[in-house]
Structure 1
Amino acid sequence: MSGFGALLAQRLRRDRVQVPMWAVGTALLALLTYVGVHQSFGTAADRMALLATAAANPVVLLFRGLPSGPDEGAFVAFLIFPFLAMLAAFMSSFLAVRHTRGEEEPGRAELVAGTPAGRTTPLLATIAHGVLANAVLAVLTALALVACGFPGPGSWIAGVGAAAVGLVFLGVGLVAAQAFSTSRGANALGVWVLLVTYLLCGIGNALGTPSADLQRIESSWLTWVSPFGWGENTRPFADDAVWPIVLCAAVAAVLAGVAVVLQATRDVGAGFVDERPGRVHARPVLATPLALVWRLTWPGIVGWIVGGVLTGVIATKLASVLGQAASALPSVQAILDALTKDGSLAQGAIVIFFTMLGILAAACGVQVVCRARQEEAHGTAEPVLSSAVDRVRWLAGYVAVGFAGIVLVIAGAVVGATAGLATLPAPDWTLLGDVLVTGGGQVAAASVFLVVTALVFVVAPRLTIPLGWTLVALGMILGLFGALFGFPDWLVHLAPIADAPTVTGAGVDLNGLWWLVLAVVVGAAASLALMRRRELAPAG
């Protein structure tokens, strides 16, 4: 197999920063979750009460794992395993597309195919690279759990189970890269498969059968159509089942085999899903660069808006659930106090979920700016800039559409929250004011991510995509989990979503608003001013 070792070494070198970041981040999330659980749910009675609440209110299971008992290890797995598996899945899917379809678009794959390596060896090297990346993630996650004092078998089941889900999505990414002729389309398919299967797993758990003591749930059949469901049914620190891992590995092998067969039957650069032919004459509205940016990015924005609507519905639906849990469980009340500055329980639910919404909105804005980098790298920005459109106006179009996407995501959540309130038996319409305040605050917070990513695009264009998404991930960890993990306030408030205006028991806290607005104004102005003199940066 000529060139396999060299191609594998090239992939390892290229991802020498990205893969360790994913793997170490996953292990740190497991470690920090243990710290939070040990502080907030240190007694078996606390854990049993929360598990009973989850079993009695299935909506909680949409965002958590599969309850397997009140043992501390099993409880940590219930809280965190879906997120460990999700990180492995994102890492693997992006890795697969980056080294397959991402190599074909600029023409590098065609050059390699003209060597003795041929067309199949690079794909096999990518598969081996994906397996090694997930093995590193599994080992680091397992070692983090062992360091917490958990039993070795359960720790390894948790680490390998998360990596096994990652392998399935490695296969998904490989097949998506064969199906679509652009890395953008392949990545979009991978993300949608991930989100849909994650939701199916949550719904399957919510429809499952709880035990008599409400400490364990047996999944319904719907869970078994999702790789996340297979991973969760390993039940680390409870059953330590190995066969779901074998199932994941088998499905991953089948998907990889399908990708190899498809690779051998298509032309280089082509995909099995044809691109939709464009109009002979563009609509008059596309004469402006702003309209062109919207045309290029609206499908992704619509997806984030749907996520915003669902978040808004669940925020108001879950408010009563958290209220019931906190009335019987002091540790839940303590968590709400830490996150919501002593507001009411219903306000706490709104603040928590709209903080999550700030991450969704930020991801929408960052994705739009990343599209600007993709257009530049693929050479399609150059024809636009060769016309009467200058660089500043071109970038301003992406920033403006990114901001519009943020506003639309938040607006979708407000609509969802209103609909959720309307379906409650006794709706508290005063919560709608809290929704508007927290939602408006998250517009400012998400806009900080937008302008910082735009500034990175101008100053260091090749770092736009990895650094933009890394900032979103750090903002999520600090803003959503920082208070639970006991991080100091100054560190938590480095995340814009944690510094956004919010509601408290005393009214509205606007302390962070002015800093966020200042950061947005300065970041936008700096990125546009510096763009005036920047040359185009091709892919590299």
Structure 2
Amino acid sequence: MILLAQRLRRDGVQLLVWILATAALCFSATAGVSEAFAAESERQTLLAVALANPAILLFRGLPSGASEGAFLVFTILPFLVLLGALMASFLAVRHVRAEEETGRADAVSATPAGRQAPFIATVAHGLIACVLLGGATTAAFIAAGLGGGGSVALGGALASSAAVFLGVGLVSAQLFRSSRAANSFSVGVILVAFLAAGIGNAVGTPSDDLTRMESSGLAWLSPFAWAENVRPFADDDARPILLAVGVSVALLTLAAALQATRDLGAGVISPRPGRAAASALLSRPLGLATRVSAGSLLAWVVGAAVVGALSTSLGDVIDEIATQNPAVTDMLDRLAAQGSMDQGLVVTFFVMVGTLAACFGVQTVQRARQEETHGTAEQTLATPVARARWLGAFLATALAGIVVIVAAAVAAATLALLARGGDPAILPDVVVAGAGQVLGAAVFPVLTAVVFTLLPRATTTLGWVLVIAAASLALFGALLGLDEDIVSLSPFAAAPVPAADGVAWNGSVWLVVLAVAGVASSLMLMRRREVATGG
């Protein structure tokens, strides 16, 4: 109980902000949908458009009807599950692997508490956080005027899916020796699950009235789809919640077994032994920053390449499945004059690529904070290396990595298009969308660097919050009825995109100004602040 109380007190503010912000999002989303799509006929039309162009379902929920509650779930549930997944997995890694990295776990294990008590306290802490998240969202929907049964079903779906990713985070904390690697693995699993649910829904079976979609078998491999198939405010089916609970119990059991058998501080997967002598690359700050970021860069490159390939390879599959339904065929004919579905698909997928690239950039700058708290930065800065040059090395690595990640996605999209014999006329759109997301993604490591110099302790939290908030605005803002000027505050939405008559430059100028000013400010501020070694 003492360890649990310590964890609750330590994470109190952070979890409170996370949970209340999610609840506030639910409440405001309900109001936004009610205002923007007040008439059922409007909701039916939008659902028909979504089912006629299933690419929309890749980044939205599972249509379950045109009622106000079911439509709200369609617009927002995947993002809510994403927030819960990140909250739970980060919590798990923070209180298991990060504690071992800092040496605090050694001190606790030397007391009568032993090795298992901290792990049990972390499991209890994580489950409490998941339940509170589900309860807060339930309360928000009820306060917004939605039905109690559907609100409870939605809260249960969110809590159970978050518990699954709590298990993922705990298992990854056992597998890897560093919290950075464990978090990267967890985020990778979350993104794969997100895409699996989206693709599984997109290739599902639409109803004849174009208001409901049945998920394909692929979707059922993802906890996101389990939450969506609860179908709150429509079916309120508890069976997917039971499935999620069963999987979370299995993952927690696996994590406990690994915790009991491995050495404290070690990971199940042993790191590759280092060289006896450092290479010339490590004699410079840029070489060091590149070396410590190489592993995570490879993981983000693979993820972006998969997303890029999907952007040009899913069009035929979606068209074939969509046109099997006469109502969908009719809707597609009416949409044909409104623009290219392939072009819209590319832009949507490359917003996700930009998000992945931004995640790498933020993670790389956060590495500077980790070097500082672990004391290794102090050793480096005790040499003739200047502080601005040291931070600049991480910034340069982050920005170069963003270019590499997006370039990998563009290359994968090109190869996928050529492999399926698609129309090469879409390739310029791929290049424009990719280049635009390089510009949008570059803003985030720069802003994280500014936070690092001004508020070092907030580097990790604010870095991820900025990316999540911007991605949610770009992907969900329009559907939630937000004003276009508000949506364009997201660098992902303000980035240049292909248009019917060339390139829509959007907010390119302010993105460039923000990036340049941020780099200059962070390097100038770094020259003046003291090195902080505390966590």
Alignment TM class, shorter chain as reference = 0.7 to 0.9
Correspondence for 2:374: 378
In 2: Cα distance, 1:332 partner to 1:91 partner? 39
- After TM superposition, the score normalised by the length of structure 1 is 0.86
SS in 2 for 1:17: helix
Give me the identity figure in percent. 50
In structure 2, do the counterparts of structure 1 residues 277 and 477 end up closer, same or farther at CA, with 3 Å as the change threshold?
same
Structure 1 position 143 matched with structure 2 position 139: yes
Structure 1 position 295 matched with structure 2 position 284: no
SS in 1 for 2:12: coil
Aligned 8 A contact 1:68 1:78 in 2: yes
SS in 2 for 1:455: helix
Structure 1 position 305 matched with structure 2 position 301: yes
Correspondence for 1:524: 519
Of stretches 454-463 and 195-204 in structure 1, the one that deviates more from structure 2 is 195-204
In 1: Cα distance, 2:379 partner to 2:506 partner? 45
In structure 2, do the counterparts of structure 1 residues 264 and 423 end up closer, same or farther at CA, with 3 Å as the change threshold?
closer
Structure 1 position 235 matched with structure 2 position 231: yes
Within-5 A mapping of 1:40-51: 41-48=37-44, 50-51=46-47
Within-5 A mapping of 1:21-420: 21-38=17-34, 41-48=37-44, 50-51=46-47, 59-206=55-202, 208-211=204-207, 213=209, 215-316=211-312, 328=331, 348-419=344-415
In structure 2, do the counterparts of structure 1 residues 147 and 289 end up closer, same or farther at CA, with 3 Å as the change threshold?
same
1:165 Cα offset (Å)? 0.6
1:220 Cα offset (Å)? 4.1
SS in 1 for 2:230: coil
Of stretches 33-42 and 467-476 in structure 1, the one that deviates more from structure 2 is 33-42
In 1: Cα distance, 2:146 partner to 2:409 partner? 39
Of stretches 355-364 and 292-301 in structure 1, the one that deviates more from structure 2 is 355-364
Q: Identify unmatched segments of 5+ residues in structure 1.
A: 337-342
1:105 Cα offset (Å)? 1.1
Aligned 8 A contact 2:75 2:480 in 1: no
Correspondence for 1:340: none
Of stretches 170-179 and 431-440 in structure 1, the one that deviates more from structure 2 is 431-440
1:173 Cα offset (Å)? 1.4
Aligned 8 A contact 1:319 1:346 in 2: yes
1:97 Cα offset (Å)? 1.0
Correspondence for 1:467: 462
1:474 Cα offset (Å)? 2.2
Aligned 8 A contact 2:54 2:202 in 1: yes
Of stretches 230-239 and 316-325 in structure 1, the one that deviates more from structure 2 is 316-325
1:329 Cα offset (Å)? 8.7
1:346 Cα offset (Å)? 5.9
In 2: Cα distance, 1:248 partner to 1:277 partner? 38
1:248 Cα offset (Å)? 2.0
In structure 2, do the counterparts of structure 1 residues 327 and 198 end up closer, same or farther at CA, with 3 Å as the change threshold?
same
In 1: Cα distance, 2:248 partner to 2:452 partner? 35
Of stretches 434-443 and 175-184 in structure 1, the one that deviates more from structure 2 is 434-443
SS in 2 for 1:275: coil
Query: What are the superposed Cα offsets for residues 102-140 of structure 1, whole Å, 9 maximum, x if unpaired?
Result: 111111122222333332222222222112211221122
Structure 1 position 514 matched with structure 2 position 530: no
Of stretches 269-278 and 217-226 in structure 1, the one that deviates more from structure 2 is 217-226
1:315 Cα offset (Å)? 4.1
In 2: Cα distance, 1:37 partner to 1:330 partner? 27
Of stretches 443-452 and 363-372 in structure 1, the one that deviates more from structure 2 is 443-452
Of stretches 198-207 and 109-118 in structure 1, the one that deviates more from structure 2 is 198-207
The one-letter code of the counterpart of 1:94 is F
Aligned 8 A contact 1:22 1:88 in 2: no
Query: What are the superposed Cα offsets for residues 141-170 of structure 1, whole Å, 9 maximum, x if unpaired?
Result: 112222343221111111111110101111
Q: Identify unmatched segments of 5+ residues in structure 2.
A: none
Aligned 8 A contact 1:55 1:210 in 2: yes
Root-mean-square deviation over aligned CA pairs: 3.4
In 2: Cα distance, 1:53 partner to 1:363 partner? 31
Aligned 8 A contact 1:319 1:350 in 2: no
SS in 1 for 2:296: helix
In structure 2, do the counterparts of structure 1 residues 153 and 490 end up closer, same or farther at CA, with 3 Å as the change threshold?
same
1:207 Cα offset (Å)? 5.1
SS in 1 for 2:102: coil
In 2: Cα distance, 1:353 partner to 1:34 partner? 26
Aligned 8 A contact 1:44 1:71 in 2: yes
In 1: Cα distance, 2:232 partner to 2:285 partner? 52
Of stretches 320-329 and 201-210 in structure 1, the one that deviates more from structure 2 is 320-329
The one-letter code of the counterpart of 2:177 is S
Q: Alignment partner for residue 485 of structure 1, among 454, 476, 480?
A: 480
The one-letter code of the counterpart of 2:169 is G
Structure 1 position 436 matched with structure 2 position 431: yes
In structure 2, do the counterparts of structure 1 residues 459 and 353 end up closer, same or farther at CA, with 3 Å as the change threshold?
same
Aligned 8 A contact 2:308 2:412 in 1: yes
Aligned residues: 528
- After TM superposition, the score normalised by the length of structure 2 is 0.87
In structure 2, do the counterparts of structure 1 residues 197 and 521 end up closer, same or farther at CA, with 3 Å as the change threshold?
closer
The one-letter code of the counterpart of 1:288 is R
In 2: Cα distance, 1:357 partner to 1:473 partner? 13
Structure 1 position 20 matched with structure 2 position 16: yes
